[in-house]
Amino acid sequence: MIRISVELLSAVDTSRNRLLGVAEISNDGNSRSEHVGSYNVKLSKWAPKQNETWKLGRVVAFPRKKLGVWDLIYVALRNTVGGRNP
């Protein structure tokens, strides 16, 4: 599983640090090839509700031997949240 934590870190006062969200991307084990993977995506709500699910998504037939982790994160966010920029 890949877990991405997004935190706001204060340069002045560390007591003001905040967790903004967590993404978990887990291989579902249903791939028929070692070259592609299918993944479940779970995005959390922001603190203090970081244990609550905000969105669920999927990545199917991802070419994991060809592309890297940042590509997987991008596809996971695109598939789960969709286009958000104007």
With H, G, I as helix, E, B as strand and everything else as coil, classify residue 32: coil
Distances (CA, A) of 73 to 3, 13, 39, 57, 65: 10, 30, 11, 12, 15
Non-local CB neighbours of 48 within 8 Å, separated by 6+ positions: none
Residue 64, domain member (yes or no): yes
The domain tally of the chain equals 1
**Would residue 35 count as lying in a domain?**
yes
Segment 55-82, tens digit of pLDDT:
999 999 999 999 999 999 999 999 999 9
pTM confidence score: 0.85
Residue recorded with tokens 């244990």: 51
Residue 86 lies in a domain: no
Whether 14 is covered by a domain: the verdict is yes
pLDDT at 1 over 70: yes
Structure tokens at 46: 């922001």
